[in-house]
């Protein structure tokens, strides 16, 4: 009976923990939902299941927490079932658990689900959270930050990006830091200073790819980071960038980890990487102060306090630089990779895109760079970028945090809870996007689509991504040189994962040849 005793005790403990956690958060006025395990909540299921986690909560789960435990016990016990090392009584107990688990599994497939709807509670990334999948409510939340809502990003992200990063601050501080950022990446700055740097970098980065098999995921990651480093501090692909790159990749991984500061965790590695990056940037700032040379880049603008209306401390400058690097890295690299993937899979779209870029090249000499006028002519390219962002869903949602008890959708959300504004499902709404699973950039040539209320590909409200135009300019320039220089075919077999990040775990390999 030893095995039965262990399983029974385990079931009792698990049931007690789940029950205690549900009772702990049982408060009148809260939306429906489940809270999962103490401390960890439903984080594991959320990260592992992704969009299906949201769907099962919206439509409901046909099995209770206890039934789920029985199914888990069934899977555990079935590993021992049939072995001859148990007594007849122990074997009978195992048979009971296995048969009960099988019955619950079969029943769960045909049971009528209990619906939580588009607004429900959970416990994600270390914090009690309400999830909103309602488009109207999402818009209200994003447009009303000052009314009891502030940014609510995970603690790991706040720790690693720094206390002065634009995602962490709010009120007048957010307005000031956002102003400093917009001064660096405004359309005037893109046209006059940043686009020439982007063009020069892309020409060099995409050079000599023909006749090679490349991992386009790796190349676009390098591209996004190195292009930003060139714009920020004029850093080329040299020693500093080679030291910077591995530390930056660790930092990115750490931002969506549980904030558990133990050796070997992504959080510890990410936080240590931040320290190393801060050291490199601080050294660069000190060297520039000592040399007193004028530098025509973002860091130079931030350090010229006599000319800049936004006067920042060294700590604020460093956090702003890390924010620029982090914010642009994932959207630019992943959108570029997925655009290459979708263009390969849709030859008609590729032909139309290539036609647009060849027309631009025909008006220029081979050595002439892409300028602002060329960029403004890339209407179909912009449509391809928007459709790639929509279909791949690079950004799944944004987080807010309540500063007081507040009523939303008829429920009372306690002070200190997070609200996850889940925007992914809007991207596949057939009322907004007919035939939503089709890759159709032509839909975006209708300008009204970009200005409609539910256009949340680049955030919304007072925190719409300030680097939107800069990111589009980078991806457009990459696509210009890629499609006018090369043909490509997939080597094959590479799988894509779309949650919590869009990525190819083993890379996305393509064979490139000259066009």
Q: What is the pLDDT of residues 115-165, one digit of tens each?
A: 788 899 998 877 899 999 888 888 888 877 667 888 888 889 989 999 888
492, two tokens: 């094959």
373: pLDDT confidence band, cut at 50, 70 and 90? very high
pLDDT value, residue 26: 61
pLDDT value, residue 107: 46
**Domains located in the chain, CATH noted:** 2-133 (no CATH), 155-514 (1.10.630.10)
168: pLDDT confidence band, cut at 50, 70 and 90? confident
DSSP-based three-state secondary structure for 101: helix
| pLDDT beyond 50 at 81 | no
For the full predicted model, state whether its pTM sits above 0.75. Answer: yes
191: pLDDT confidence band, cut at 50, 70 and 90? very high
pLDDT value, residue 461: 60
**Higher-confidence position of 58 and 247:** 247
Residues contributing to the annotated binding site for heme: 465
Residues contributing to the annotated binding site: 465
113: pLDDT confidence band, cut at 50, 70 and 90? very low
Residues of the chain with pLDDT > 70, as a percent, come to 79
3-state SS track over 148-210? CEEECCCHHHHHHHCCCCCCCCCHHHHHHHHHHHHHHHCHHHHHHHHHHHHHHHHHHHCCCCC
15: pLDDT confidence band, cut at 50, 70 and 90? low
- Cα–Cα–Cα angle for 331, 334, 336, nearest 5°? 100
Could you tell me whether strands 509-514 and 149-151 are parallel, antiparallel, or unpaired per DSSP bridges? unpaired
pLDDT value, residue 495: 82
In whole angstroms, give the CA distance from residue 515 to residue 349. Answer: 17
The mean of the pLDDT values for the chain is 82
**What average pLDDT does this structure show over 340-347?**
96
- Residue in 210, 212, 240, 209 with CA at minimum distance from that of residue 226: 240
**What average pLDDT does this structure show over 259-281?**
94
Beta strand residue intervals within 371-417, DSSP E = 397-402, 406-408, 411-413
62: pLDDT confidence band, cut at 50, 70 and 90? very low
In whole angstroms, give the CA distance from residue 175 to residue 177. Answer: 6
| pLDDT beyond 50 at 221 | yes
In whole angstroms, give the CA distance from residue 130 to residue 142. Answer: 15
Poorest-pLDDT segment among 28-32, 66-70, 269-273, 350-354: 66-70
251 Cβ partners below 8 Å, 6+ apart? 160, 270, 273, 274, 277, 322, 326
pLDDT value, residue 111: 43
pLDDT in tens, 288-314: 999 888 888 999 999 987 777 888 999
34: pLDDT confidence band, cut at 50, 70 and 90? confident
Could you tell me whether strands 418-422 and 486-490 are parallel, antiparallel, or unpaired per DSSP bridges? unpaired
3-state SS track over 113-165? CCCCCCEEEEEECCEEEEEECCHHHHHHHHHCCCCCEEECCCHHHHHHHCCCC
pLDDT value, residue 77: 45
**What average pLDDT does this structure show over 224-231?**
94
**What average pLDDT does this structure show over 371-391?**
95
In whole angstroms, give the CA distance from residue 131 to residue 51. Answer: 12
Q: What are the φ/ψ torsions at residue 371 (nearest 5 degrees)? A: -115, 180
């Amino acid at each position: 009976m030893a095995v039965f005793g262990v399983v029974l005790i385990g079931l009792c403990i698990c049931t007690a923990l789940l029950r205690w956690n549900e009772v702990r958060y049982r408060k009148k006025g809260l939306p429906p939902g489940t809270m999962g395990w103490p401390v960890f909540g439903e984080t594991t299921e959320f990260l592992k299941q992704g969009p299906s986690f949201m769907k099962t909560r919206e439509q409901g789960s046909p099995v209770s927490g206890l039934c789920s435990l029985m199914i888990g016990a069934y899977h555990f016990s079935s590993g021992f079932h049939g072995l001859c090392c148990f007594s007849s009584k122990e074997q009978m107990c195992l048979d009971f658990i296995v048969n009960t688990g099988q019955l619950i599994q079969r029943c769960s497939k045909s049971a009528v689900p209990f619906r939580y709807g588009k607004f429900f509670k959970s416990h994600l990334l270390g914090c009690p959270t309400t999830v909103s999948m309602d488009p109207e409510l999402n818009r209200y939340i994003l447009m009303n930050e000052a009314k009891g809502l502030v940014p609510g990003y995970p603690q790991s992200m706040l720790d690693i990006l720094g206390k002065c990063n634009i995602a962490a601050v709010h009120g007048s501080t957010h307005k000031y830091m956002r102003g400093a950022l917009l001064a660096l990446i405004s359309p005037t700055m893109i046209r006059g200073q940043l686009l020439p740097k982007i063009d020069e970098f892309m020409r060099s980065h995409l050079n000599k790819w023909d006749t090679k098999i490349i991992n386009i995921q790796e190349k676009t990651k390098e591209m996004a980071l190195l292009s930003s480093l060139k714009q920020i501090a004029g850093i080329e692909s040299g020693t500093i960038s080679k030291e910077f790159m591995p530390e930056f990749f660790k930092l990115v991984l750490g931002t969506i980890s549980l904030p558990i500061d133990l050796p070997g965790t992504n959080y510890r590695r990410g936080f240590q990487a931040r320290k190393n990056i801060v050291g490199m940037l601080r050294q660069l700032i000190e060297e520039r102060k000592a040399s007193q040379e004028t530098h025509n880049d973002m860091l130079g603008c931030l350090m010229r306090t006599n000319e800049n209306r936004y006067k920042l401390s060294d700590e604020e400058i460093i956090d702003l630089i890390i924010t620029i690097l982090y914010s642009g890295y994932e959207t630019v690299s992943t959108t570029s990779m997925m655009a290459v993937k979708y263009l390969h899979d849709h030859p008609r779209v590729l032909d139309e895109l290539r036609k647009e870029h060849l027309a631009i090249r025909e008006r220029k000499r081979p050595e002439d760079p892409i300028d602002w006028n060329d960029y403004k002519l890339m209407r179909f390219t912009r449509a391809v970028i928007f459709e790639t962002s929509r279909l791949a869903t690079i950004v799944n949602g944004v987080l807010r945090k309540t500063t007081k008890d507040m009523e939303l959708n008829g429920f009372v959300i306690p002070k200190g809870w997070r609200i996850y504004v889940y925007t992914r499902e809007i991207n596949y709404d057939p009322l907004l996007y007919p035939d939503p699973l089709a890759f159709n950039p032509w839909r975006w040539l209708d300008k009204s689509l970009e200005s409609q209320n539910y256009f949340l590909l680049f955030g919304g409200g007072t925190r719409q991504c300030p680097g939107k135009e800069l990111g589009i300019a980078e991806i457009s320039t990459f696509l210009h040189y890629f499609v006018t220089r090369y043909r490509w075919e997939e080597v094959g077999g590479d799988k894509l994962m779309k949650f919590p990040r869009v990525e190819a775990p083993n890379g996305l390999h393509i064979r490139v040849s000259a066009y």
